[in-house]
Each structure stands twice: as structure tokens, then as C-alpha cells.
Structure 1
Amino acid sequence: MAEVSGNSFIPESLPGYTPDIAGQIGLLWELIKAPLIVPFLRFCVYICLAMSIMVFLERLYMGVVIILVKLFWKKPEKRYKWEAMNDDLEMGNEAFPLVLVQIPMFNEKEVYKISIGAACNLSWPADRLVIQVLDDSTDLVVKDMVEKECIRWASKGINIRYQIRETRGGYKAGALKEGLKHDYVKNCEYVVIFDAILDQNRIFSDGPSVSDPQPGYCTCTSSLEVWVHIFSWFAFLDCGVNSDECLLTRMQEMSLDYHFKVEQEVGSATHAFFGFNGTGGIWRIAAINEAGGWKDRTTVEDMDLAVRAGLKGWKFLYLGDLQVKSELPSTFKAFRFQQHRWSCGPANLFRKMVMDIATNKRVTSYKKFYVIYSFFFVRKIIAHMFTFFFYCVVLPLTILVPEVDVPKWGAIYIPCIITTLNSVELRGHSIYCSIGFFFENVMSFHRTKATFIGLLEAKRVNEWVVTEKLGDTLKNKSNNKSTASKRSLSKFLGDR
């Protein structure tokens, strides 16, 4: 047998052998490249090209639907029969449905006052509103402050309830589920769920009443906001109050705008499905109960409930004209933890529900295909993996292996078309779309890792880290910047 010396890891009798380590590594690379590396890398290229076509067709489909919606789709007020809700002199405020507002909190020191105050100032008859603060705080000081704030509003005549639990089991889903068990909730017809957002006072207004109920839709004699009477719940646009703080928040706003203005709008317009977002939505309590209530089996309890309600035949409506301002993570650490939850949760939910969706007999085949393939498989799994493996792994490796050829249409044309589509669909953010392309590549590693954790149900599958918020600190920071800017300008111009 050929001898291998202590300073070598390949046989000395091998043609081209050199005693130095760098030469041996180069020789070993040449030996394994043709039979192993090249075929494997070509296979990876083919897989990535297939994924790129899937992502491209999905983006193209959504782009076409959005164009058709903008050109031909009637707004909800023209699609559904409704009439303005008027005060009933005989019934008074009894004509308005009783609404429960739930605000789940966990050590929200910076934003608890803003959230509670905004909920208590909603434009809805005070005696037809129940505010429920679900406080899971572990910080006793914060807990005491939240309770005192609730007492302060209760002294003003607001029907506000401060609820705590012995344990934090189930995280937010557990708190929401526990909140619906109280006796004073039984008469409530709707539940509004808010995270710790900054401006909730645009949600309630005069809405319609049902004149001609349609079979298969949930109906009531009076309504809350526009058209919610014929749907199980509706969601509305979530916009970042601190989107101009830094480049990170601008990138997030662009991504969220695409999610709401394109993905959510397409799902709603085609009567397929769109994932409920916890920062803003109004549910019929009957829909929650029929769907099986809140479950804590994943970190996307809102999406879980929306899927189950959709499989029960409940209808959904997205209203992009209504906006609720919320705070975006302004540090990379906070954003990374948030993205882990948002990527791991849907992948884990897909694993748990794919067979339930496929075998369901109450919804159409189109809707089942849309939820399984489009909503979950392409957007929540393939999109993350394709971005990471193709742009961050496969393409760089093809530079080291020139024998592997990547078609121009896959490496250049498709990414450029996708970026162009995003620029057209997000006209207000077109300047950031090219930067967003690189930003998504940076985040793709974290999202891909989280996706695999969700699919495999690995150790961190149910990890829940509450997103850090700044609240009033953010306002003060913005005001300080403005003041500092004015001072510097005054110094530059002098007393003139």
C-alpha cells in the first residue's frame, strides 16, 4: 500500500503529490471535484432554479391580481349591500353590538399607557365596550403600574378589566384563551385584538347593517366597522410609526407593505386566504369558538386560528384603507428574534396542518391548493430557502467551480424582474427595493434556519421572545433629534 507520512494526508505515490499542505489541499480538490463536487453542485443549481421559477410565478401571479384589483375590482362598499348605521332612539346604544377589546401585555413598560389610553378612547359607545388588559408581566413594578393605569381609567367610568394569570402557559394564545372564559365576555359579539400598538383610535366608526343576508356568511342585525357583519373577522393595514428611524425600520416597512398591500389584498380579493396579523383584527367570537379557540401549539397562534376558521367555512375581509400604527423593531437583535418567530411558526403550523387542509371537505379545491402551495409552501418555506441557498451558497460556489454553468435567466433576469415587480407594486418604496434585495439575503440565513427548526420541530421551535418596544422613549428621541436640528440650524444662521 502507498505510504502516508505524518505531514501528509494523501499517498506520496499519487501523481502530482507535493509535500506542502496547500499543494495537497489543491490536489485533493482536483481529485474530488469532477466525480463529486461538479455533479452535486449542478444538482443544487437545478433545484434552486426550480425554486426560483416557483417564487417568480408566485410574485407574477400576485402582481397580475393586484393590477386587476386596482383596475376593475370594486371596493367593499360597492360589492356588499349595506347602509349607514344610525342611532336608534328607542334602543339607544343597545343598537350597537357589545365589543370586547383584548390587549395582551408582557412587561410593556414603555407602551402600556399608550395602548390602554388608545383603547379607552375608541370611537364607540363606552357602555358597549369592554376593555380587557391581559397582563402576563413578570416584573412586579410593571405589573403594579399597569394595574394602577387600569384603575385610573375605571374611575372615569370606562369598563376596563385587569386580568392576570398564575402561569404564563401558552404565551399570548394562552392569555387570549383565558380572557374569553370570563362571565362578562359571554354577551360580547365581537372581540378586537391589539398588540401593544400606538394608535388604535381609527378602528371603530359607523358601519352597515345587514339588509339581505347571504348564505354561508355570518350575519347579525347590527354591525361593527365596515362589512364585518358578514365575515368572521377582518384585518387592516399595520404601518410602522417609527419607519423613518433608521435603514432597518425602512426595510421592515417595505417588507410589511408588500405583505399587506399585495399578499393580504390578493388573498382577500380572490376569496382564498390571508394570514391574520395579531396587531389588528376584529373577530366574531362565534368564529373563534367554532374553530376550536386559541391554541398554543405554535408561535403564530393568530395564523393557526385563521386557518382553522377558514377550514370551517368562515369568510374573511381585508380592509387596507384602515391603518393602525405599530412600532417596528429598531435593533437588529429584536428584529432577528421577531423574524425567528415569524419564520419558524408558519413552517411548524404547515407541518401540523397540511393533512387537515388537504382532506378538508368544506372548502374548495382551489382554496386548499392556495393555502398549501401558495401561502405556506412557496411563501413561508421555499422563498426563504431559495434566497439563502441560491444567492448565498450555490452562486458563490459556482465561481470556484467554473464547470458548473448557471443560466443568465436564473441568475440575473428572474431576480431583476422580481425586484421590478416589487418596485411597481410598492411605488412609495421603489428607491429601497434594490437595497431590500441585499437586506433579504442577509436575513435569509436566520429565516431558513428558523424554517428548518419549525419543519423538524427542533429545540427552539416554541421559543418566544417578546419584541422590545421603546414607546414614549421613541417619541422623546424623535423630539430630541428635532430640537437638536433646530438648535444647530439656529447656531448656523445666527440671531437673524
Structure 2
Amino acid sequence: MRHAYVRACEFVAMFDADFQPPPDFLVRTVPFLVHNPSLALVQTRWKFVNANDCLLTRMQEMSMDYHFKVEQEAGSSLCNFFGYNGTAGVWRTQAIVESGGWEDRTTAEDMDLALRAGLLGWEFVYVGSIKVKSELPSTLKAYRSQQHRWSCGPALLFKKMFWQILAAERVSVWKKWYMVYDFFIARRIVGTFYTFFFFSVLIPLNILLPEAQIPVWELIYIPIAITLLNSVGTPRSIHLVILWVLFENVMALHRFKAILIGFLEADRANEWIVTQKLGNLQKLKSIARLTGSYRFKDRFHFLEVFIGLFLLASACFDYLYRDDYVYLFVLPQSIMYFAIGFQFVGLNVSED
């Protein structure tokens, strides 16, 4: 936006370096902005070209498909507001200028811009039928770094913008409620905390402490409901949905740590590490080179291994001393904690 030739444009299309828009992208997106002067953003969907690289990328595809098909679609339909994904979208230049342009106060600068524009009364639309090819991180290290940024940034942004949201005069009470509760609290804070706490803390305590009893309906039906609801995004991966739930429960720990760092504005609150993408690397180099050795400290995640041991001990106790079969829930979760703790998920790429 600092360049005159950009400011002179009525609309600006934005793409990350690894995104490949279709030839008719502008033909299909710009008319939305032309025919609706109150529209600031047209967001399109991401299509992942490397989703079949490994189990890690399949898990990510399921999460991102749910994000686009449910979260973005709901925000667009209910109140014309959702978080800008940072790429594969077309902005009205006037909306960017009126919102104050890009801010680097958090690692969620794209969401920051969208929030400020939304508070000025600008509307957004999500068009899921337009898909832009992109790439998912194939290594666990890159994915963890990305998720830290995506969790820490919104938490810090919510802390900075909470009172501005409540004081905004150009948006309805319903839209403020959606921004505060649905967009930030429910999905990004409570949802993450609940996922980690319920599966990794509360269920094991239910085994070890007789006083901490969980009703059977809560122990069984809530996980089943979560599984079924989140499987709608990627029907082709429905056979992986149980693995996906176990994987997301472990990643909830990592995301929850990032949320706390964001709220507390700790040392890593504004840490920005470019997400490593492999491109066609795996096609150009041998498998032996790709799976080069990592240093031990890069392959070992202490907290995940510790919680995995805690869950394993709980499962063994339940199997030996109780007859409620709760270990059938806990044991697979402990295995997934070990898989991520020892980095057996994703590709291992040598940095030599």
C-alpha cells in the first residue's frame, strides 16, 4: 500500500508465494465488489496440492476444510464477517485505507485488518466455489511453528481490541456478540482449552480419582458428536476421523500454550517464523536425503511425552483396577501424544 500504483487501484488481490490462483480468478471475484459498494473483501477457498504427502498433511486438510466449509461459511452467511485468511482474497483498497492499513502489533496482521474493517461497517463475503491451489507444511516443526503463530496472534489481538469491539458504533449488537463470543472466545479460546482439558486431564482424573466422576453421556456422546461434526469438511478422509480427533487433542496443548503466551504478551508473543514449505523438493531429491537425521532436541517434545506417560499410566490403572473400559479412550490418546512427542508424524527433512 506504500506504492502509488497500488493506491491508485480500486481493488487489490493478495496471494502468498506458494499460492496458484486459477486464470479466471479476478473474473469470478471482482464482480462481487463492483456490484456491492459496502463489500470490502472477497475471500476464496484454499485447495491443497500436497494433501497426500503424509498423514500430517491429511490431518491438516481435514482441519482446514472444516475451517472453510463451516467457520468461514457461517461467518459470511450470518453477519458478513470472518477472519481474513491472509491470502487468496481480493480487497477494496478504500477499506484498507480507512481501516488504517496493515499493523504489525501481532502475528495475526491479516485478522487485525479484517477486524478493524469490520468494526467500520465493511462487509465480507466468502466464496467457497473458487479454489486457489496452495501447499501445506509437511514437517511437524513447520506445522507447530505455524499453529503457534495462528493461536498466539489472535489471542493478543483479542486482548488489544476487546474494548474497541464493544465501543464500535457502526456495527450491530449481534455482530459484536459474534465477534467477541463466537469468533474469539468460543472457537479460539474455550474450544481449545476444552479440547485439551477434557481429553488429556479430566478423563484421566476420572480414572485416578473416584471423586471426579464424569457422566457416561458426557464421556461418550461429546467425543462422538465432535467427531461427527468435524468430519463433514473432508468426506474423503472420514476413515481418518478418529486419528484426526486424537491428533487435534494433542495439538490443542500446543495451541493453548500459544494462547497463554499471547494473552500474557510473553517473549514469543510476536515470534514470526516463516512456515517451511517443501514445494517439489520430495520429487527432486531422494527419500534418503529427505529423511535425514534430526538433532535429538529437535525430535523430542518433553511436554507431549510427559502427558503421554500420564495418560498411559491412567489407562493401565483403569485396565487393572476398574471395569468401565475408559482405557479404550485414553490409551489411543497416549499413543498419539508419543507419536507427536517423538516426532513420528510428518516428513523429516534434513537441514544439512
TM-score, structure 1 as length reference: 0.55
> Once structures 1 and 2 are overlaid, which stretch shifts more, 363-372 or 391-400?
391-400
Superposition map of 1:73-84 within 5 A? none
**Cα offsets for 1:69-124 (capped at 9, x unmatched):** xxxxxxxxxxxxxxxxxxxxxxxxxxxxxxxxxxxxxxxxxxxxxxxxxxxxxxxx
Q: 1:328 aligned to 2:133?
A: no
1:203 is displaced (CA, Å) by 5.0
Q: 1:309 aligned to 2:130?
A: no
Q: 1:464 aligned to 2:285?
A: no
Residue 33 of structure 2: which of 228, 233, 237 is its match?
228
Letter in 1 for 2:82: F
Residue 7 of structure 2: which of 173, 186, 189 is its match?
186
Residue 279 of structure 1: which of 69, 72, 87 is its match?
87
1:479 is displaced (CA, Å) by 12
Structure 1 moving runs of 4+ over 4 Å: 477-480
Partner of 2:192: 384
1: CA distance, partners of 2:240 / 2:262: 30
**Cα offsets for 1:270-309 (capped at 9, x unmatched):** 1242110012111011000001110001101000000100
**Cα offsets for 1:388-438 (capped at 9, x unmatched):** 122112221221111221112222111111211222454233222111110
Which structure is higher in helix share? 2
SS of residue paired to 1:270: helix
Unpaired segments ≥5 residues, structure 2 = 289-352
Residues 465, 458 of structure 1: alpha-carbon distance in 2 compared, 3 angstrom cutoff: same
Letter in 2 for 1:291: S
Contact preservation (8 Å) 2:106, 2:156: yes
SS of residue paired to 1:412: helix
User: Number of aligned pairs?
Assistant: 285
Residue 206 of structure 1: which of 20, 27, 30 is its match?
27
Letter in 2 for 1:247: L
**Cα offsets for 1:203-225 (capped at 9, x unmatched):** 53535xxxxxxxxxxxxxxxx53
Superposition map of 1:111-260 within 5 A? 180-202=1-23, 204-206=25-27, 225-229=30-34, 230=36, 231-260=39-68
- Structure showing greater Rg: 1
SS of residue paired to 2:133: strand
1: CA distance, partners of 2:145 / 2:179: 26
Contact preservation (8 Å) 2:66, 2:232: no
Q: 1:418 aligned to 2:226?
A: yes
2: CA distance, partners of 1:477 / 1:413: 46
SS of residue paired to 2:137: coil
Contact preservation (8 Å) 2:40, 2:123: yes
1:186 is displaced (CA, Å) by 3.1
Partner of 1:138: none
Contact preservation (8 Å) 2:48, 2:135: yes
**Cα offsets for 1:17-51 (capped at 9, x unmatched):** xxxxxxxxxxxxxxxxxxxxxxxxxxxxxxxxxxx
Partner of 1:365: 173
Partner of 2:108: 300
Contact preservation (8 Å) 1:299, 1:341: yes
What's the Cα RMSD here? 1.9
**Cα offsets for 1:224-250 (capped at 9, x unmatched):** 534122211111111211000000000
TM-score, structure 2 as length reference: 0.77
Residues 206, 194 of structure 1: alpha-carbon distance in 2 compared, 3 angstrom cutoff: closer
2: CA distance, partners of 1:280 / 1:478: 32
Greater relative CO, 1 or 2 (CA 8 Å, sep 6+): 2
Residues 327, 387 of structure 1: alpha-carbon distance in 2 compared, 3 angstrom cutoff: same
Partner of 2:326: none
Letter in 1 for 2:4: D
1: CA distance, partners of 2:232 / 2:26: 32
SS of residue paired to 1:316: strand
Residues 415, 247 of structure 1: alpha-carbon distance in 2 compared, 3 angstrom cutoff: same
Partner of 1:92: none
1:439 is displaced (CA, Å) by 0.4
Residues 327, 426 of structure 1: alpha-carbon distance in 2 compared, 3 angstrom cutoff: closer
1:316 is displaced (CA, Å) by 0.6
Contact preservation (8 Å) 1:264, 1:318: yes
Contact preservation (8 Å) 1:202, 1:322: no
Contact preservation (8 Å) 2:10, 2:92: yes
1: CA distance, partners of 2:109 / 2:19: 22
Residue 97 of structure 2: which of 281, 289, 293 is its match?
289
1: CA distance, partners of 2:226 / 2:285: 36
1:477 is displaced (CA, Å) by 6.0
